[in-house]
Structures are given as structure tokens and as C-alpha cells.
Amino acid sequence: MTATPAAPVTQDVVTIPRRASEEGLPNLVGLTRAQMREALLAVGVPERQLKMRLNQLWQWIYHWGVRDFAAMTNLAKDFRATLAANFRLELPEVVSRQVSADGTRKYLVRIAGGHEVETVYIPEEGRGTLCISSQVGCTLTCSFCHTGTQRLVRNLTAAEIVGQVMLARDDLGEWPEPGTGTGDAGPRLLSNIVLMGMGEPLYNFENVRDAMLVVMDGEGIALGRRRITLSTSGVVPEIARTASEIGCLLAVSFHATTDAVRDVLVPINKRWNIEALLESLRAYPKASNSERITFEYVMLDGVNDTDEDARRLVGLLDGIPAKVNLIPFNEWPGAPYRRSSNNRIRAFATILMQAGYASPIRTPRGEDIMAACGQLKSATERERKSRRQIEAEAGL
Ligand code: SAH
Ligand code: SF4
């Protein structure tokens, strides 16, 4: 099978005049409310005005998407001047944008240090999902994942994570006119966020948490916690923290029904095995007051896709409010696996459905621009490291 349908691809090179500066004034983007409050205090905003000033500024930045202090017309002129003299409002730079035949948009985003990550916007009927990255590369080495062949360069900052949401809203033209509300113009174009891009979000916990707190804030971008899904390969100690400190929906890259197979597909399993992972997941819905956990399961021909696997999976899910998302394997150059046949995937899904589990088969999106799950990898990352080298670096 081929993952590349013949389809028109457009690519604009977007030039943004100001490059993401590595030095200079502190960036207000990505600060939590508490951090922004401290920043305002430090430039002399009197205590008694702090709350009001913070609310006004927050609304300009996150509700109306304004990045020029001078345009924040309901702020006193001298306060605007103080802000401009002390702070910047800056997003990462969009290097290029590719649009798939199916409407999926992939942004190549440059962050400080010249590193690059990818962000993908997936339009759907009545909604749109933004898939954001949390790290440059990934320290983990899941054997079916393209990102896993790229060594980790660094964690993204909270500003760079929130920045991906803001640059997508810029591109979609989705900020309300200053002075107006968000709501009445019908469904939002960017209505959901999945932390399923490059990187393991729970290995960058604090920055991911702070960024999501900014995105969820009701007086700004205001995406509710049930509109955000964090996907983890199974960093067990951070799962309880995700429930208590973020409270978003959880997806887990499960992918196998025995430790022997999962050790190979998702090597973090050697540290926290299936039993340890399931134990942490049992506690999640109650702790986060959220709905079902999504079990992601990539369908790999002859590796994890038998009827026996499906039945074993049903057994493992017992007692956990769950749905299973079956992901047809997205191929990438040099990938060591093949996608299971459609018949096999359907047979697997049937067993799960008969046991009472919703098990949608994920439709690959944006394959023609290498934007589908697991295909992301920095375009400039030419160096392919050997598995052994990556594993040695990751201490696995
Ligand atoms: N690091 C996190 C989130 C990013 S990956 C995690 O592993 O959960 C998002 C999802 O895509 C994961 O379920 C991942 O296992 C899956 N994935 C990775 N490579 C894939 C591929 N080539 N085809 C299909 N799904 C893939
Ligand atoms: Fe990292 Fe997730 Fe890819 Fe595994 S599947 S290598 S954890 S990005």
C-alpha cells in the first residue's frame, strides 16, 4: 500500500518580519496568570490596580489576539508605553505552511535556537482539531514512530506551546474583533486540541501544564478541559499529576497486549509495564472527573493485530471506562512495519465493539503532506540515528 495519494499540495512560504528572538525583552506569551501578575508588579503596576490591569491585558492577548501594545486602546497610554518598554508579545515563527488535499494544514514552526517542530490543523465537520508538539524530537524510541528516530533536542517552553495555538488562530483568522465576544459566530474552527504531535508531553510536564492552563482560561482562548486530549506513551508517575493539575482528557499509546510486544513497540514499557500502566489509568477518570480514557492502538500487520490480541485487549480494559482508537499504521520512509489490511482492522474492531467498547478506526489525514500521526519529523533533521544510539542516549 502507498501512503501518498496523488493530490495537489500547496505550499506558501510565509515570511514573518520579526524573527523569534532568543534574547531581548521578556515575552509575556505563555505566562500563567500568576506569572503575568508578578511581571506587572515588577514593572511598578500598583497592587490595587493589578487585578484590573492583568484582566485587561489578558483579554487583549488571549481573547482578541492583539500583539501590539499600542493597539490596546482601553489601557492608559502610559501603561501601554510601560508595557512596550519592558515586554514583548511574540510567537514562534511559521517557516512554511502546507495544505493537504483534504484541508489538513501542517505548519513548520521555528523556535528559538533555530529548531523546528510541526503543528497540524485538522478540519472536521463542525469542529477542528489542532495537534500540537511538546518537544523537539522525542527521547523515546517507539519503533513504529517517525518522531522516535529524531533525537530529542529540547523541551518546548510554555510560550512555544501556547504559541502554536495562537499562530493557528492567526492563520485561521479566528480572533474576534476587539470589543466583541467569541461565541456567536457558530462552531469554532479550532475547537479541540490534541497533544499528539512531536514529543512526549509528560516528559515536559510543567510547561505543558502551564500552557494548557493558559489555553483553558475562560477569559482568553477558553477551550474547556474536555476539549483537550493529552496523549502519553505511559509515563506512569505523571499520570496522576495530569489528572490533578490539568484535568484534561487522557489518551494512552497502548499498542500491544503483552509486555513482550509492547517492550518492542513502546520501549518505555520496560520501565512501566502494562500492569503498572493500567493501575495508574484505573485511577484517572475519578481523579480528573473526566470521561473515558482513549486507548490508542496502531494496527501493524502481523505484529499486534490478531483476534487473540483483540480479546486480550478486552480483558485488560476490564474496569476502565475506555474507548479504543484504532490507528491504521502511517508509513514513513524506512519504516520497519506495514499497515494491517482493512479487513483485519475491521475484524479487530468488531471484537472490541461486541465487548461494548467504542472502537473507531482513525481516518489518516494529511498523508500527502506527511502530517498523519507519527509521521512528523523536523524537515531539517537529516541525521538518522541508529536505534541503538538513540536508546543509549535515552538510557533505555
Ligand atoms: N508521545 C505521545 C504523543 C505523540 S504520538 C504518545 O506517544 O502518545 C500520537 C499518537 O500517534 C500515539 O498514539 C502514537 O503512538 C501514534 N503513532 C506514532 N507513530 C505512528 C505511525 N507511524 N502511524 C500511526 N500512529 C502512530
Ligand atoms: Fe515519542 Fe510518542 Fe513517537 Fe513514542 S510514539 S517515539 S513517545 S512521539
Q: Write out the H or E segment, with its range, that includes residue 310.
A: helix 307-317
Delimiting residues of CATH 1.10.150 domain(s) in the chain:
33-86
Report which protein residue has its CA nearest ligand 1's atom 5. Answer: 196
pLDDT band with cut points at 50, 70 and 90 for residue 12: very low
Structurally, what CATH architecture does the domain formed by 33-86 represent? Orthogonal Bundle (1.10)
Least-confidence region, from 194-198, 333-337, 348-352: 333-337
* Per-residue model confidence (pLDDT) at position 89: 97
Is residue 255 pLDDT above 90, yes or no? yes
Delimiting residues of CATH 3.20.20.70 domain(s) in the chain:
92-387
Output 306-310 pairs: Cβ under 8 A, ≥24 positions apart.
307/347, 307/348, 307/351, 309/256, 309/257, 309/348, 310/347, 310/348, 310/351, 310/352
Query: Is residue 93 annotated as a catalytic residue, yes or no?
Result: no
Residue whose cell numbers read 528559538: 112
pTM exceeds 0.75 for this model: yes
Q: Write out the H or E segment, with its range, that includes residue 170.
A: helix 158-172
The ligand that comes nearest to the alpha carbon of residue 266 is: 2
Q: Which atom from ligand 1 is nearest to the alpha carbon of 330?
A: 23
**Per annotation, catalytic residue among 90, 93, 116, 118:** 118
CATH for 92-387?
Answer: 3.20.20.70
Give the model confidence (pLDDT) of 49-99 as tens digits.
Answer: 999 999 999 999 999 999 999 999 999 999 999 999 999 999 999 999 999
Distance 392 CA to ligand 2 centre (A): 16
